[in-house]
Chain A
Amino acid sequence: MSDLKALLNRYVHDSTPDAAPPFSAVSVRLQRRTRRRRALLSAVPLLLVAAAAAAVISARGPSTPTAQAPTVSAGTAPAGQSAGAGSRRGPLPDGQGSCIESYNLATLKQRAFAFDGTVTATADQKPSDSDDTPSGFLAVTFTVNEWFRGGDQNTVTITMMEPALLSAQEMSYRVGTRLLVTGEADRGRPLQASTATAWVCGFTHYYDQPTANAWRQTFKG
């Protein structure tokens, strides 16, 4: 272990700059932040109007999905739901991460692919020179129950964050878990692990009928 410690110490030493950037850079960053925050806050009335409008539309529409913490229902799983994490509802947990886009039906509609599928296999993703995917990701194979966008095959393999990174407390998905999956892909290329990544942060959900209906409508419209 002392060898490992020595190697790591040398590496951190080599990674440390000879001098720190000037402290003034921090003040400049703070000022830039402050200006940006003021600009954002000046948009608050508009955002409030938009949020109110969205709430009205949501109240009128059928079963609009919302990004909320996953819950475990007390009763048995609804018919048609698979084993594994089948009794859970809501979005997959997303670990400590936050996201570049928030989940709603408008942002959902912009995704490259979406399907209702059941996990049938998972495999480690090994990083290599030709593949930017870091470890911490799995190649996850699904039997597809229904395509909403981006494919028509019976099975598909895509990249997903490994369950341990999504939640340290529980196995967020496993073989048998039925999910509503969406994410981004290299558009124009076949959907596979090296080209397609499932998004978390509300975009990938445990299966439930109302959310599946909403997704179907969203991608039809």
Chain B
Amino acid sequence: LQRVTHVRTPSASTGDEVAALYARTCRPLIGLLTSIGGSRSEAEEIAQDAYVKVLQQWPTIRSYDDPDAWVRTVAVRLLISRHRRATVATLGLRRLAAQARQDEPELTADSVATATALRRLPVPQRAAVILHYVLDLPLHDVAEHLQLPVGTVKSRLSRARAALAPLLRETEETKNV
């Protein structure tokens, strides 16, 4: 048991390297997670969980071609997993929904309409939309993030486009008034 309870703490150089990655990626990552999940505090928590994983596994992660993409993938999966867990229980769901309402970032009118339309979609679908249309990730990368077949991602994006179509019409009508 003594052997098992030994938990490695990161070295100073690991800390510096991860701090550099953190400085480079944290702000956009929180923006991405907030726009998918709808809650800033939840996004910060999940981002921290992802960077904890980076700290713990840095010797492996630093050898990857793109550690920035690794942390984003992990964070998006953590977010989706957390929402799945929360939605299993009605009570947990309500707490999360109430919390999300309190933690919404301040948005412009256009973005409020976008947020409202996006929240009608399930979280994994929102993630697919934002990864594909905002980060310009190709379908197979989105599928990798979401651990889904490419065909499923395609159909989810198609459903999402249909669901978001009224948003575009509304925006167009507002411009015409």
Which residues from chain A sit less than 8 Å from chain B, CB to CB? 1, 3-5, 7-21, 23, 25-27, 29-30, 33-34, 37-38, 41-42, 44-45, 94-100, 127, 132-137, 159, 161, 164-165, 168-169, 183-186, 195-197, 199-201
CB pair B111–A14 under 8 Å, yes or no, is: yes
Inter-chain contact B92/A26, CB cutoff 8 Å: no
Instruction: Point out the residue from B48, B88, B115, B122 that lies within 8 Å of A26, measured CB to CB.
Output: B48
CB-CB nearest in chain A for B136: A5
Residues of B within 8 A of A164 (CB): 152
Which residues on the B side are within 8 Å of A5 (C-beta)?
133-134
Contact partners of B129 in chain A: CB under 8 A: 8
B54 closest partner in A (C-beta): A26
Determine the main DSSP class of B at the interface with A.
Answer: helix
Q: How far is the CA of A94 from the CA of B56 in the complex (A)?
A: 28
Of B84, B91, B133, B167, which is within 8 A of A95 by CB?
A: B84
Other A-B pairs, 17, CB within 8 Å; known A16-B32, A98-B81: A1-B133, A4-B133, A10-B108, A11-B111, A12-B35, A14-B106, A14-B111, A15-B31, A15-B40, A15-B111, A29-B48, A41-B1, A100-B88, A127-B119, A133-B93, A134-B122, A183-B90
* A16–B5 CB distance below 8 A: no
Determine the residue in chain B with the shortest Cβ distance to A20: B26
Choose from A9, A17, A98, A200 the contact partner of B27 (Cβ within 8 Å): A17
5 A-B pairs closest in CB distance: A16-B31, A97-B84, A136-B122, A20-B26, A11-B114
What is the predominant secondary structure among interface residues of chain A facing chain B? mixed
Question: In the assembled complex, which residues on chain B have CB atoms less than 8 Å from the CB atom of A37?
Answer: 7
Report chain A residues within 8 Å CB of B133. Answer: 1, 4-5, 8
Q: How far is the CA of A52 from the CA of B75 in the complex (A)?
A: 36
Cβ A11 vs Cβ B55 within 8 A: no
Q: Judge whether A29 and B49 touch: CB under 8 Å.
A: yes
CA gap between A184 and B85 in the complex, in Å: 14
Interface pair A13/B5, CB less than 8 Å apart: no
Which one of A17, A99, A135, A169 lies within 8 Å of B31 (CB-CB)? A17
User: Could you tell me the distance in whole angstroms from the C-beta of B56 to the nearest C-beta in chain A?
Assistant: 7
Q: Is the CB of A38 within 8 A of B7?
A: yes
B148 at the interface (CB under 8 A from A): yes
Whether A10 lies near B52 (C-beta < 8 A) is no
Contact A168 B168 (CB under 8 A): no
Q: Report the minimum CB–CB distance from B92 to chain A (whole Å).
A: 7
Q: A3-B168, A168-B148 given as contacts; is B94 within 8 A of A15 (CB)?
A: no
Assembly CA distance A208 to B110 (angstroms): 52
**Contact at A12–B134, with CB atoms within 8 Å?**
yes
Q: Are A99's CB and B85's CB within 8 A?
A: yes
Residue-wise interface mask of B (148-172) relative to A, using a CB-CB cutoff of 8 A (1 in contact, 0 not) = 1100100000000100100110011
- Distance A47 CA – B110 CA, assembled complex (angstroms): 53
In the assembled complex, which residues on chain B have CB atoms less than 8 Å from the CB atom of A135? 120-122
Assuming the contacts A21-B44, A132-B94, asked whether A30 and B55 have C-beta atoms less than 8 A apart, the reply is yes
Question: Which residue in B15, B84, B114 is a CB contact (below 8 Å) of A8?
Answer: B114
CB distance from A189 to the nearest CB of B (A): 11
Does A132 lie within 8 Å of B93, measured CB to CB?
Answer: yes
In-complex Cβ contact of A4 among B30, B31, B92, B168 (8 A): B168
How far does the Cβ of B22 sit from chain A's closest Cβ, in whole Å? 5
| Complex contacts, A30 vs chain B, CB 8 Å | 9-10, 52, 55-56
* A196, chain B: closest CB distance, angstroms: 7
B37 to chain A, nearest CB (A): 10
Chain B positions within 8 Å of A16 at CB level: 27-28, 30-32, 34
A75→B30 CA distance, assembly (Å): 51
The A-contacting residues of B in range 116-138, CB under 8 angstroms, are: 118-125, 129-130, 133-134
